[in-house]
Structure formats: C-alpha cells, structure tokens
Amino acid sequence: MQYSTLHNGLQVPQVVFGTYRIHDNDSVERVIRDAYDCGYRMFDSASYYKNEAELKDAFEVLGVRDQVLITSKVWNDAKGYKGVLEEFEQSEQQLGRVDVYMLHWPCDEFLNRWKALESLYRAGRVKAIGVSNFKKHHLEKLLKEAMIKPMINQIEAHTYFMDRETIDFCREQGIVVQAWRPLMRTGNMLQNPDIAKVGEKYGKTTAQICLRYLLQEGLSIVPKSTKKARMQENIDLFDFELSEQDMDFMRSLECGMRTADDPDDYPWNK
C-alpha cells in the first residue's frame, strides 16, 4: 500500500475500500474481514449508506478498529451548521468513532455546513475533514471563507470521466482527490477490449489497468467489491507501472461520461 499525506500531516492509504450498498449484517462482517485480510486500511462510508452500525460491529468482531480509518459523510438533508452537528452525533454513535468527515455534496449553505466540520476538527472529534463532489467553483467559494482548507475532495473519476479542472485545482491547493466509482460500476468500461489489450502487456486485468491509471494521474481511489478475489485485484496495483505511451492511450479514452449527476444539477442547488 502507498499512502498520501494530507495537509494536516495525516497519512491515508491511496486505495480506500468503498462500502456503498454493503449493508446486510452478515455480509458486512464477511466483506470487511476479507477486505482487511487483503490489506485495506481505510473504509469509505456515509450516513446515506446506512451501514455505519454494521461497520462498527464488524470491526469490533475483528478487533482491528484502531488499525483502520473510517470516513463518513453528512447527507444533504442535514440543514446548516446545527443540522450537520446533529447528524455527526448519530454517525459517531453508530461508528464509535469517525476518523474522516466530509460534506457529501455541495448543497445549499455549504459554507455554514463546512464551519460545522471545522468545529468538529478543532474539537478533536475527527482526524481530518473533507468534501465530496465539489467542483473547482465550489472550492473557490469555500476557500474564501474557510478557516481550515478541506484535506480531501472525493469526486467521480474513472477512465471515461475526469474533471481535470477540479483535479488540477485540488493539486495546486494540496487537497487529496479520491476517485469514487473508479471502476465505473454502471458503465461498460471494464468490457473495453482495448484496455484489456493494455492489461495483457502487463499481465494485469482491465480493472487493474483502470485503477493504476488513476493512481498514476495522482489520484487516490475508492473501489468496492464484495468478492475477495476482486478486492485483492483492486489493491494489487503497486508492482507495475504504465508506460507514458499507455498513459496517453488511457487519457485518449476520456469521453465525459459521468455515471451520476453533475453536482451543479442536483435539485437542492436550484
């Protein structure tokens, strides 16, 4: 595993285990055990995923809670400063401890909502704070008012979609970008025969080429799988390097294909 250092000094793994849609009690325990065995040490959750209590139970059974970082995110219906703090209390209770806390989307009043995260960080309730789905213009607005700069921005990014403007801005600002849906769960990217051909050269799968590409673009990644063999595949990314020619080929596949709404089009921004 390789780590990134956040601007507050916290070291975070570059491969984070995604837990969206992993919520049935038995399967959470099995999935978390497999992911931990494979080497994952950071886990991505959110109040919206409705699995925080199950994650806590799973880590307690394993006895490794102190070995891992868990991210949670506040959902959009928690209104303003007070609403965010109230929802945090619930997440903290369910998870036992929230290590990294994020605004899930840049919905209304995000400046006030960010101030709530700053207060949690200052009080030592969380180790790092960040945002998710913030585009460059959201970050510029936030940075004008923020006392603490977000440490992470988690955004959609994969071979077919890269918001380069936001990624470049985060790099300039020292904000770590985590790519969510890096395997493009709802698209056909993993069936692309040309990426498979690149994989043949390195003895790697299409998924590994797509994930390694993001790492070499300077992003951290948040892949999810319920299957142990795939979990292992998605973390075994540090024993090869794509050539500049193959990186250029991967870049050429970018086609602006998002799998979810553009953050500017979310209904609560209207």
Catalytic annotation, residues: 49
Residues 6+ positions from 241 with CB-CB distance below 8 Å: 212, 216
Q: Quick one: which of 225, 237, 246, 250 contacts ligand NAP (CB under 6 A)?
A: 225
Nearest residue to 117 (alpha-carbon basis) of 127, 48, 46:
127
Cβ closer to ligand NAP: 199 or 223? 223
Q: Give bridge partners of residue 154 from the DSSP assignment.
A: 132, 178
Q: Which pair of tokens denotes residue 264?
A: 């500017």
- Nearer to ligand NAP among residue 135 and residue 230 (C-beta): 230
Is 83 a binder of ligand NAP (CB under 6 A)? no
Among 14, 154, 166, 192, binds ligand NAP (CB under 6 A): 154
Question: Looking at beta carbons only, is 120 or 221 nearer to ligand NAP?
Answer: 221
180 binds ligand NAP (CB under 6 A): yes
Question: Judged by CB under 6 A, which stretch of 50-58, 114-122, 226-234, 243-251 contacts ligand NAP?
Answer: 226-234
Query: Is 133 an interacting residue with respect to ligand NAP (CB under 6 A)?
Result: yes
Residues paired with residue 102 on neighbouring β-strands, in sequence order: 73, 130
Distance CA 99, CA 88 (A): 12
Q: Outline where the chain has alpha helix (H).
A: 25-38, 52-62, 80-95, 110-122, 136-145, 164-173, 193-202, 206-216, 228-235, 244-252
Binding site for ligand NAP (CB under 6 A): 18-20, 44, 104, 132-133, 154, 180-185, 190, 207, 222-227, 230, 233-234
